[in-house]
């Protein structure tokens, strides 16, 4: 495994990749866990050379958010990358990606101003700005992102489409801990009591997914989350049904694929989760032939 700690080093190592070899890329902020490992494994399945970036991006943190305390176990992350068979790791400094006097950034548009974008103004602009820079520097053919961060994935896919970027963006399934909680680097901030409360998020989504209409699904999820909200340590931000491509809110009689997305602050930790609802009407059962009546 090769490690580049500057743009110059990355440029040199990227030039060593033989022409014709597909480069798969996983962008991370470090504190790697099994969810990141699954992204690396999918990138490996889709490419010949796997590159990973480790960079805690200050542009996607707002005032009062956890940028300063975000975990940065770099040596452990590098060991994990080596164990996963990663070929190239890019660990830039903030000054490398954001030179003095920086003025230009990427706007996520309307999609970046709703839900997480409303709660964290400018967050998705910061995400897209760093992802575009990393795409330009790593030059992958394939990039894998987790579906847990569904709005981020949708914004990145929109950027690739709108800016004609030559990279295929793949969404990977959410990886969960044995108790059902979606894996996140922020889970380490939860106390045992808070973690028990946090489990109401995947429980609410699981209950919703058992229903075939959106009103029933929302009611089932709210039954769980409203009970959780009786605890002062649980603060529900939103439970919303949206289009998975545009993140526009859907009507209550919507059918087909609908993304149910939820966000809550548990203690001092903000958590997000989602599930894709299949609201298609079940097919009519085949008609049972009627036997003639006995005479």
Domain 2-172 belongs in CATH node 3.40.50.150 = no
Sheet containing 269-278: order of strands:
234-242, 257-266, 269-278
The secondary element (H helix, E strand) that includes residue 48 is none
What are the residue boundaries of the structural domains of the chain, listed by start?
2-172, 187-277
146 pLDDT more than 90? yes
Same fold, 2-172 and 187-277: no
Higher-pLDDT residue of 283 and 233 is 233
Do residues 208 and 218 lie in contact, with contact meaning Cβ atoms separated by under 8 Å? Answer: yes
CB atoms within 10 A of CB 20: 6
In three-state secondary structure terms, 83 is helix
In this prediction, residue 284 carries a pLDDT of 47
Q: Does 186 show up as a binding residue in the annotation?
A: yes
Q: Does 30 show up as a binding residue in the annotation?
A: yes
Residue range 131-144: average pLDDT? 98
Q: Does 183 show up as a binding residue in the annotation?
A: yes
The sign of the torsion formed by the CA atoms of 110, 111, 116, 120 equals: negative
Catalytic residue among 36, 123, 222, 252: 36
222 catalytic per annotation: no
pLDDT above 70 covers a percentage of the chain that reads: 95
The region that residue 278 occupies, defined by phi over 0 for left and psi between -120 and 50 for alpha, beta otherwise, is beta
Give the phi and the psi of residue 146 in degrees, each rounded to 5.
-80, 145
Average pLDDT, the chain: 93
Q: Give the model confidence (pLDDT) of 93-136 as tens digits.
A: 999 999 999 999 999 999 999 999 999 999 999 999 999 999 99
CATH of 187-277, one of 3.40.190.100, 1.20.1530.20, 3.30.1300.10, 3.30.1450.10: 3.30.1300.10
Q: Give the model confidence (pLDDT) of 26-76 as tens digits.
A: 999 999 999 999 999 999 999 999 999 999 999 999 888 889 888 899 999
Q: How many residues appear in the chain? A: 295
In this prediction, residue 283 carries a pLDDT of 47
In this prediction, residue 83 carries a pLDDT of 98
């Amino acid at each position: 495994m090769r490690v580049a700690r500057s743009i110059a080093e990355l440029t040199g190592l990227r030039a060593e990749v033989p022409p014709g070899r597909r480069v798969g890329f996983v962008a991370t902020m470090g504190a790697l866990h099994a969810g990141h490992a699954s992204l690396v494994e999918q990138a490996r399945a889709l490419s010949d050379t796997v590159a990973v970036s480790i960079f805690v991006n200050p542009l996607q943190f707002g005032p009062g958010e956890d940028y300063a305390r975000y975990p940065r176990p770099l040596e452990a992350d590098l060991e994990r990358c080596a164990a996963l068979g990663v070929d190239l790791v890019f660990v830039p400094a903030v000054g490398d990606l954001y030179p003095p006097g920086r003025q230009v950034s990427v706007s996520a548009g309307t999609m970046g101003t709703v839900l997480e974008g409303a709660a964290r103004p400018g967050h998705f602009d910061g995400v897209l700005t760093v992802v575009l820079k990393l795409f330009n520097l790593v030059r992958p053919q394939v990039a894998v992102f987790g579906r847990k961060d569904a709005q981020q994935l949708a914004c990145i896919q929109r950027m690739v489409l709108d800016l004609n970027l030559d990279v295929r963006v793949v969404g990977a399934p959410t990886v969960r801990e044995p108790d059902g909680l979606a894996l996140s680097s922020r889970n380490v901030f939860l106390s045992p009591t808070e973690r028990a409360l946090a489990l109401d998020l995947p429980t609410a989504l699981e209950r919703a997914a058992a229903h075939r209409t959106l009103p029933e699904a929302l009611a089932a999820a709210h039954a769980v989350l409203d009970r959780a909200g009786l605890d002062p340590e649980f603060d529900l931000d939103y439970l919303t049904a949206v289009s998975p491509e545009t993140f526009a809110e859907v009507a209550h009689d919507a059918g087909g694929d609908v993304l149910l997305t939820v966000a809550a602050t548990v203690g001092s930790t903000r958590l997000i989760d989602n599930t894709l609802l299949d609201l298609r009407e079940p097919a009519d059962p085949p008609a049972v032939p009627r036997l003639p009546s006995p005479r």
